[in-house]
Chains A and B, each alone.
Chain A
Amino acid sequence: MYAFDYHRPTSVKEAANLAGQAEDAKFLAGGHTLLPTMKLRLAGPASLIDLGQVAELRGIERSGDAITVGAMTKHAEVAGSADVRAAIPALAELAELIGDPHVRNRGTIGGSVANNDPAADYPAACLALNATIVTDKRRIAADDFFQGIFTTALDEGEIVTQVSFPIAAKAAYAKFRNPASRYALVGVFVAKHADGVRVAVTGAGSNGVFRVPEMEEALGRNFAPEALDGIAVPEDEMNSDIHADSAYRAHLVGVMARRAVEAAAARG
């Protein structure tokens, strides 16, 4: 790991000011992607701004028809939250499938969405639940936020402060885990809202998380696994690697989507 200057602000404002002053700064959330990347010297920021002591970034709140999760909230906290379990059980289940127990004790939702790893879980939940990503400057709809592999709408120095999830009528996440890394080989999040169905896929797309409009329309007419019969995602837009080729991933998208719909439909 290359040397860096370390900063530990206690407020979002202080963190933003530090980012404005420091040359080549990166924010450190849970550190479970950034620190391994720095160890490999794939990243070598001159400054690290540790958000770990910014209390205002922690916590889960249910207000009206939304669950709002502070950016520095750990995966284990989302998985264990009674509010999340009651309002959007699929979101708690998704959090519980990330990494392993130790990773879930450190990794954060803000870090996950800001990094936008093409195999991360939270981006699929954000897209399917039509979440709003709140930053220190603005509110960004998930549809506009995720812009391709490791690419988001965030400006330089902009800090994710919260993610707000509308409470869907029914939702479920089906994930085919890479057994070694536990990242999604394919993960499909399905959410039935009052105004339609949203289907988001992570792990599979060669340009990161994406929605499947054809599945959404079919499920809007009939929210049942058989509604997806005959619908396939294009193979040439899927990832291909030693773990799974694009044909297999395209096939898994259909399988996981059916499983997610089945699980969502079974919720009372």
Chain B
Amino acid sequence: MTTVSLTVNGQSVTADVDPRTLLVQFLRENLRLTGTHVGCDTSQCGACVVHLNGQAVKACTILAVQADASVVTTIEGIAEGGELHPMQSAFREHHGLQCGYCTPGMIMSAIDIVNRKGSDLDEQTIRAELEGNLCRCTGYHNIVKAVAAGARAMARAPLQQAAE
């Protein structure tokens, strides 16, 4: 067993884990944060996307021990004070989901896109940047609309963006 200490959604966490534990397993099974999904388990689908030290990564292809001393944010960590994150609200408002399985990863990727590319995103940019997130319902049309709207909403809520 190896000890890992990290910050998840603002809380310090320390645990002894088998080194082969994936970060996504650690989040879901140790911390019971089951909003981060496992879709393909082969780093293709993006259902497991979380932020590691502020960058979007696929938690199925990172060992929990590699995240030692890191800051992790999951889908459970982006709402504040009972208020949905602007990107979550945009997905709800624009119906950016069908079955919802890919949604947590889509939202975590979308926030990362805004952090890197700003809030004025054209459709082509959004589609290119979402290439690591698959929606098996093929509901991309509204996802792209939701990301564009969520990006604009994030620009109007700078405090929430900075808090993440």
Kindly supply a per-residue 1/0 record for chain A positions 49-84, scoring 1 wherever the CB is within 8 Å of any chain B CB and 0 otherwise: 010100000000000000000000000100000000
B138–chain A nearest beta-carbon distance, Å? 15
A103 touches B58 (CB 8 A): yes
Kindly supply a per-residue 1/0 record for chain B positions 42-60, scoring 1 wherever the CB is within 8 Å of any chain A CB and 0 otherwise: 1110100100100111100
B68 within 8 A of partner (CB): yes
B16 within 8 A of partner (CB): no
Chain A contributes a number of interface residues (CB within 8 A of B) equal to 28
Closest residue of chain B to A35 (Cβ to Cβ) is B61
For B2, the chain A residues whose CB sits under 8 A away are: 6
Give complex CA distance A23, B17 in Å.
22
B61 touches A48 (CB 8 A): no
For A38, the chain B residues whose CB sits under 8 A away are: 20
B27–chain A nearest beta-carbon distance, Å? 15
B61 touches A8 (CB 8 A): no
A101's partner among B62, B65, B68, B112 (CB-CB below 8 A) is B112
B20's partner among A2, A8, A103 (CB-CB below 8 A) is A2
Kindly supply a per-residue 1/0 record for chain B positions 19-30, scoring 1 wherever the CB is within 8 Å of any chain A CB and 0 otherwise: 110100000000
B20 touches A1 (CB 8 A): yes
A99–chain B nearest beta-carbon distance, Å? 7
A4 touches B61 (CB 8 A): no
B83 within 8 A of partner (CB): no
B132 touches A101 (CB 8 A): yes
For A103, the chain B residues whose CB sits under 8 A away are: 43, 58, 132
B66 touches A31 (CB 8 A): yes
Closest residue of chain B to A180 (Cβ to Cβ) is B44
A50's partner among B18, B52, B66, B113 (CB-CB below 8 A) is B66
From DSSP, what is the main secondary structure of chain B's interface residues?
mixed
B61's partner among A2, A31, A50, A52 (CB-CB below 8 A) is A31
Pick from B19, B62, B65 the residue with the most CB of A within 10 Å.
Answer: B19
A101 touches B129 (CB 8 A): yes
Give complex CA distance A48, B131 in Å.
30
Given the known A-B contacts A1-B20, A6-B19, are A102 and B66 also in contact in the complex, defined by CB atoms under 8 Å? no
For B113, the chain A residues whose CB sits under 8 A away are: 101
Give complex CA distance A4, B66 in Å.
14
Given the known A-B contacts A102-B49, A102-B58, A106-B57, are A8 and B65 also in contact in the complex, defined by CB atoms under 8 Å? yes
A32 within 8 A of partner (CB): yes
A40–chain B nearest beta-carbon distance, Å? 9
B26–chain A nearest beta-carbon distance, Å? 14
B132 touches A99 (CB 8 A): yes
A222 within 8 A of partner (CB): no
Give complex CA distance A2, B18 in Å.
11
B119 within 8 A of partner (CB): no
Pick from B20, B49, B56, B129 the residue with the most CB of A within 10 Å.
Answer: B20
A105 touches B61 (CB 8 A): no
Give complex CA distance A180, B131 in Å.
10
Question: Which residues 97-116 in A have Cβ within 8 Å of B in the complex?
Answer: 99-103, 105-106
A36 touches B42 (CB 8 A): yes
Pick from B49, B52, B55, B66 the residue with the most CB of A within 10 Å.
Answer: B66
A105's partner among B42, B44, B55, B63 (CB-CB below 8 A) is B55
Residue positions of A touching B, CB distance < 8 A? 1-6, 8, 28, 31-32, 35-36, 38-39, 48, 50, 52, 76, 99-103, 105-106, 180-182
25 contacts between A and B (CB under 8 A): A2-B20, A3-B18, A5-B19, A6-B19, A31-B62, A35-B22, A35-B61, A36-B43, A36-B61, A50-B63, A52-B66, A76-B55, A99-B132, A100-B46, A101-B109, A101-B113, A101-B132, A102-B43, A102-B56, A102-B57, A102-B109, A105-B56, A180-B44, A181-B44, A182-B131
Nearest first, the 7 closest Cβ-Cβ pairs linking A and B are: A100-B132, A6-B19, A105-B55, A1-B20, A102-B58, A102-B132, A100-B131
